[in-house]
């Protein structure tokens, strides 16, 4: 039998389940659905808290927020209402007992020292159940709010000259 990682005692991401279950996007309006349906998710604190506590009771391993600084506008204003991921994680960590609570952090918008300090605080609140989801960002209007441009990237070139 494989030895368990000692972090498994507090953080289910290090537990024995090979398949981890999680919820993504319960901190933003519409979740991950671009829709105008009346029944769409409106991301109130009461609603997101109830969803996360239910997932916690049912043994989900992860709660992963979407890092969003502004909505997309238009008829749906997709993700227009949203909770900051660090403060959201602190509130959810305090209100749950089992699930790992992540925050999502854009590299160009949050200084690494600030991310470390805030993440450590959330980890203490959640008794070792914190993890960090680091992303580069892709929505130019958000990054422009911070005076940043989309970072250039290199396309992989295969030996036969095709790109991916």
Q: What is the pLDDT of residue 158?
A: 62
Give the per-residue pLDDT at 4: 74
What pairing do the DSSP bridges indicate for beta strands 130-135 and 100-106? parallel
Q: What is the pLDDT of residue 108?
A: 85
Sheet holding 100-106, edge to edge: 22-24, 62-64, 100-106, 130-135
CA atoms of 123 and 163, how far apart (whole Å): 41
pTM of the model: 0.84
pLDDT in tens, the chain (164 residues): 466 788 899 999 999 999 999 999 999 988 888 888 888 888 999 999 999 999 999 999 999 999 988 877 888 888 878 999 999 999 999 999 999 999 999 888 889 999 999 999 999 999 999 999 998 877 777 778 777 777 676 666 666 555 55
Distance, in Å, from the CA atom of 123 to the CA atom of 86, rounded to the nearest integer, reads: 11
What's the pLDDT score for residue 69?
83
pLDDT at 79: 82
Own/partner contacts of 110-119, CB < 8 Å, gap of 24 or more, are 118/86, 119/86
Question: Domain ranges in the chain?
Answer: 6-32+56-144
**In the prediction, which pLDDT does 163 show?**
56
- Whole-number pLDDT of residue 151: 67
| Cα–Cα distance, 130 to 24 (Å, whole number) | 15
């Amino acid at each position: 039998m494989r030895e368990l990682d000692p972090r498994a005692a507090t953080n289910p991401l290090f537990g024995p389940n090979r398949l981890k279950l999680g919820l993504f996007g319960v901190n933003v309006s519409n979740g991950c659905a671009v829709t105008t349906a009346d029944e769409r998710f409106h991301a109130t604190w009461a609603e997101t808290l109830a969803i996360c506590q239910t997932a916690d009771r049912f043994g989900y391993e992860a709660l992963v927020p979407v890092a969003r600084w502004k909505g997309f506008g238009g008829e749906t204003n997709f993700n227009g209402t949203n909770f900051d991921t660090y403060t959201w994680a602190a509130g959810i960590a305090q209100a749950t007992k089992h699930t790992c609570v992540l925050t999502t952090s854009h590299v160009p918008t949050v200084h690494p020292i600030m991310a470390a300090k805030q993440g450590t605080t959330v980890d203490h609140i959640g008794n070792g159940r914190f993890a960090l989801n680091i992303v580069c960002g892709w929505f130019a209007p958000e990054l422009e709010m911070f005076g940043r441009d989309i970072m250039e990237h290199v396309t992989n070139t295969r030996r036969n000259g095709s790109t991916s």
